[in-house]
Amino acid sequence: MRILNLIQKDLLQVFKDKKSFLFLLLMPLAFTLFMGFITAPGENGDSRIKLGLLNQDPDGELTPYLNTLMSTSDVMSVTELSASDANQLEHWIDNETYAAVLIIPPDFSAKTMRGEDPQLELLMDSATSSGQLALNAIHAALGKWMGSIKAGIIVTDALVVKQAVSNGTANILDGIRLAMEAWQSPPLSLNVNPINSGGLSSKVPTGFDQTSPGMIIQFAVLGLINSAMILVLERKNRCLQRMLTTPINRAGIITGHMLAMSLITFLQVLILVLAGQFIFKVNYFNSPLATLLMVLALAFWTGCLGLLIGAVAKQEEQVILFSLIAMFLFTALGGAWFPLEGSSDTFYTIGHFTPLAWAMDGFQNIILRGGGVESVLLPVGVLCLFAALFFVVAIWRFTFE
């Protein structure tokens, strides 16, 4: 009962300050909204790279087939340019309006049909990742296009030899059309379905799917400034020493403060999860029980970290400093600001030496990969192990003087 009284005292001390509401709830919601819009896909949800197409052979019989292949690409979004845009092409590449611009020269179709080898021109910045991605996508589309043309020519030549056709051009186009239709629905295809170590299908998170759990985790750590400050102030004004004259023992005092910090974080994270579900449409309720386990584990780990900060810090300024260091270190390495899946293998491995990388894995297993309770058992276990480690170190460093 005395521990409950101590918890109640800490809660009242934190929540009586109106600034705590702004700090614990409004700021993470504002950052989630801001960061979510920054990392969301482009207009109309189209996140493909932009390719400009300057067709100087508009009446050619072959160019419509290339437009078809380009426009159905999953990688690039094609914008047709006019002749008046020719002077701005390099400028658009420099300012990344387009990742690349493909130029089809005049009489391209006619020369190709005659067996000549006219050259296409591609403007791109090979130093950028989008330029390299555009180059690979264009190579793939051109390979299909030229393959279809060659197939049409070969078939027509064979028929001419047998004197089975009289109009070679028409038959070439028929062969190209059939080859293009075959590309649209190939008899054999390969679907790539990446998996993570837990066996769940995965994708790189974007928009609020990344920023909502990321900001929840970031501000859960940053919120320790308020709760850890209580310990420092109680030690400074000798309130901790006076507590020892009451029936509550040292273990009860330490446990009560840790549970109070955990409860504050639990309430904060729970409210932010509900806001993410109903305001930002993040699918935390894909598995409510799994989400609850993650919230409890994160709150427990954060409470133990807050106890450690309160045990080590001697002044109020040190509480702020240590909380900021923990926030920047854990969130940067843990993938709260950007998905670790998009980083290098080395950074991904280093990040998973931190507890918040596992917390992000747990939330993303629920949000992005459709996992249930079994998908968060490992992240919950890792968070609890880190929490136990922080708690032991905090007890070792804790002093009442």
Sheet holding 49-55, edge to edge: 76-81, 49-55, 100-104, 121-124
For residue 63, the cross-strand partners are none
| Position 383 confidence tier, pLDDT thresholds 50, 70, 90 | very high
**CB burial class (10 A; 0-12, 13-18, 19+) of residue 128?**
middle
| Position 198 confidence tier, pLDDT thresholds 50, 70, 90 | very low
| Position 155 confidence tier, pLDDT thresholds 50, 70, 90 | low
Most confident listed range (52-56, 171-175, 181-185): 52-56
The pLDDT of residue 84 is above 70: yes
Looking up tokens 């702004």, which residue turns up?
22
For 214, residues 6+ apart whose C-beta sits below 8 A from its C-beta are 35, 331, 335, 336, 337, 360
Lowest mean pLDDT among 90-94, 169-173, 236-240: 169-173
pLDDT at position 145 is: 67
State the Cα angle at 156 between 153 and 157, rounded to 5°.
85
Cβ distance 45 to 207 under 8 Å? no
Report the alpha-carbon distance of residue 311 to residue 305 in Å, rounded: 10
pLDDT at position 147 is: 65
For 91, residues 6+ apart whose C-beta sits below 8 A from its C-beta are 97
Most confident listed range (150-164, 216-230, 317-331): 317-331
The pLDDT of residue 378 is above 90: yes
The domain segmentation of the chain, as residue ranges, is: 2-40+208-397, 44-184
| Position 197 confidence tier, pLDDT thresholds 50, 70, 90 | very low
Helix (H, G, I), strand (E, B) or coil at 336: coil
pLDDT at position 165 is: 46
Residue 224: what residue type?
Answer: L
User: Which of 3.40.1710, 1.10.3470, 3.40.50, 3.90.550 is the CATH number of 44-184?
Assistant: 3.40.1710
What average pLDDT does range 300-304 have in this prediction? 91
Cβ distance 310 to 277 under 8 Å? no
pLDDT at position 162 is: 46
Looking up tokens 């919120």, which residue turns up?
223
Report the alpha-carbon distance of residue 129 to residue 77 in Å, rounded: 16
**CB burial class (10 A; 0-12, 13-18, 19+) of residue 84?**
exposed
List own/partner pairs for 234-239 with CB under 8 A and 24 or more apart: 235/399, 235/400, 235/401
What average pLDDT does range 73-90 have in this prediction? 84
pLDDT at position 148 is: 64
What average pLDDT does range 49-56 have in this prediction? 87
pLDDT at position 247 is: 66
State whether the Cα torsion 142-143-146-151 is positive or negative.
negative
| Position 365 confidence tier, pLDDT thresholds 50, 70, 90 | very high
Helix (H, G, I), strand (E, B) or coil at 186: coil
What average pLDDT does range 84-108 have in this prediction? 86
The torsion defined by the Cα of 257, 261, 263 and 264, in degrees rounded to 10, comes to: 130
Q: Percent of the chain beyond pLDDT 90? A: 12
- CB atoms inside a 10 Å sphere around CB 239: 14
pLDDT at position 43 is: 45
What average pLDDT does range 24-29 have in this prediction? 76
pLDDT at position 137 is: 79
Among candidate residues 246, 217, 180, the one with its CA nearest the CA of residue 356: 217
Helices (H), 46-88: 63-71
Helices (H), 187-287: 208-222, 224-236, 239-243, 250-278
